[in-house]
């Protein structure tokens, strides 16, 4: 199982140089990937292109870029350009976002999200394979469109699939799923079986998890509960927390000493998760660096 670090999900405010430096430190620690959230700050795809020019080895991925604001041909062009700029180290993670953002903030219809994602992938995935697109749908109609971007191998694409329909799309049309707010019980009983039952024999499964190495467990969970409150309120994440049988994000966070963290990470590996995506929560002075050093030791 690969181990990476998520940047941006904790809501911390950083300059572009800070973000690049974090990624360079993750690479120096020997970890496999850095995943960048695309929320209300830097554009994740562009930032990862910059990170890729400042690093040599580490994998790069979005977790995740919303689909609705960008035409699939536009996101394909941007993603393939980033792949070319980073020696094919880039994975495009996309997602629907949420009604609160797409409909309430941006004024776009969020009426049929699964249908939107199916059509989106039917345009995007041929381009990710270097093929021409001819597609006639209700939302997208693309005729004879192709991209010529040299030295790019097939672009990996994962989607933020949590519900049964989205997981089916992740298995049938994409390379897998990138999850958030999914605890271990739900991962094992819902996410992984849904992917395999949809015919995906070897899906990419990225498990985004809040994590911190600390002896101040109660204080850390209280800080995580405060920092991640919104994720317990958004319907798609709330559904996953309800499946897990927990009250909020702090209850699925991996918090504790080295043995606790090591055991929980191993639990995800044993069930078939391919990528552990650590959202390190800096709940006290030194917690971020201490947790990063621990993850490096696990990767060993």
Give the whole-angstrom CA distance, residue 284 versus residue 23: 21
Give the pairing type, strands 141-145 and 133-136: antiparallel
With a cut of 70, say whether residue 12 has pLDDT above it: no
Q: What is the mean pLDDT of residues 30-50?
A: 96
Q: What is the mean pLDDT of residues 36-55?
A: 96
The tokens describing 150, both together, are: 């040299």
Average pLDDT score over the chain = 96
The tokens describing 186, both together, are: 């739900």
With a cut of 80, say whether residue 102 has pLDDT above it: yes
pLDDT computed for residue 300 by the predictor = 74
What angle do the packed helices 113-128 and 164-172 form, to 10 degrees?
10
pLDDT computed for residue 153 by the predictor = 84
Domain count, the chain: 1
Give the torsion through C-alpha atoms of 73, 75, 77, 80, to 10 deg.
-130
Residue 43 located in a structural domain: yes
Residue 248 located in a structural domain: no
Proportion of the chain above pLDDT 70, given as a percent: 99
pLDDT computed for residue 8 by the predictor = 86
With a cut of 80, say whether residue 234 has pLDDT above it: yes
Residue 21 located in a structural domain: yes
Q: What is the mean pLDDT of residues 36-50?
A: 95
Give the whole-angstrom CA distance, residue 36 versus residue 19: 9
Give the whole-angstrom CA distance, residue 151 versus residue 57: 17
pLDDT band for position 11 (50/70/90)? low
As beta bridge partners, residue 208 has 180, 277
**Tens of pLDDT, residues 50-85:** 999 999 999 999 999 999 999 999 999 999 999 999
**Tens of pLDDT, residues 237-271:** 999 999 999 999 999 999 999 999 999 999 999 99
pLDDT computed for residue 9 by the predictor = 74
Cα–Cα separations (whole angstroms), residue 258 to 31, 189, 238: 17, 26, 29
Residue 238 located in a structural domain: no
Q: Which domain holds residue 265?
A: 2-217+254-299
With a cut of 70, say whether residue 281 has pLDDT above it: yes
Residue 63 located in a structural domain: yes
pLDDT band for position 299 (50/70/90)? confident
CATH number at residue 38: 3.20.20.30
Residue 225 located in a structural domain: no
pLDDT band for position 13 (50/70/90)? low
Residue 123 located in a structural domain: yes
Query: CB-side exposure of 29: number of CA atoms within 13 Å?
Result: 25
Give the torsion through C-alpha atoms of 272, 277, 279, 284, to 10 deg.
80
pTM (predicted TM-score): 0.97
**Tens of pLDDT, residues 165-194:** 999 999 999 999 999 999 999 999 999 999
**Tens of pLDDT, residues 121-168:** 999 999 999 999 999 999 999 999 999 999 998 999 999 999 999 999
Residue 224 located in a structural domain: no
């Amino acid at each position: 199982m690969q181990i990476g670090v998520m940047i941006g999900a904790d809501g911390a405010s950083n300059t572009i140089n800070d973000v690049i430096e974090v990624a360079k430190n993750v690479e120096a620690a020997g970890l496999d990937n850095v995943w960048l959230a695309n929320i209300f700050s830097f554009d994740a795809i562009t930032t990862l292109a910059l990170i890729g020019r400042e690093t040599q080895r580490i994998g790069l991925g979005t977790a995740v870029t919303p689909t609705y604001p960008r035409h699939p041909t536009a996101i394909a062009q941007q993603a393939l350009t980033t792949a070319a700029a980073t020696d094919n180290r880039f994975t495009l993670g996309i997602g629907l976002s949420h009604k609160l953002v797409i409909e309430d903030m941006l004024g776009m219809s969020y009426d049929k999200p699964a249908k939107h994602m199916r059509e989106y992938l039917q345009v995007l995935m041929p381009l990710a394979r270097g093929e021409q697109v001819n597609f006639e749908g209700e939302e997208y109609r693309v005729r004879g469109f192709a991209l010529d971007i040299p030295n790019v191998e097939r672009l990996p694409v994962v989607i933020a699939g949590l519900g049964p329909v989205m997981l089916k799309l992740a298995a049938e049309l994409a390379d897998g799923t990138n999850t958030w707010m999914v605890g271990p019980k739900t991962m094992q009983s819902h996410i992984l079986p849904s992917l395999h039952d949809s015919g995906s024999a070897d899906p990419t499964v990225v498990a985004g998890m809040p994590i911190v190495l600390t002896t101040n467990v109660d204080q850390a969970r209280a800080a995580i509960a405060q920092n991640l409150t919104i994720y317990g309120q958004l319907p798609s994440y709330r559904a996953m927390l309800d499946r897990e049988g927990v009250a909020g994000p702090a209850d699925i966070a991996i918090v504790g000493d080295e043995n606790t963290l090591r055991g929980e990470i191993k639990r995800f590996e044993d069930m078939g998760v391919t990528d552990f995506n650590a959202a390190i929560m800096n709940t006290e002075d030194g917690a971020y660096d201490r947790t990063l050093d621990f993850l490096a030791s696990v990767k060993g």
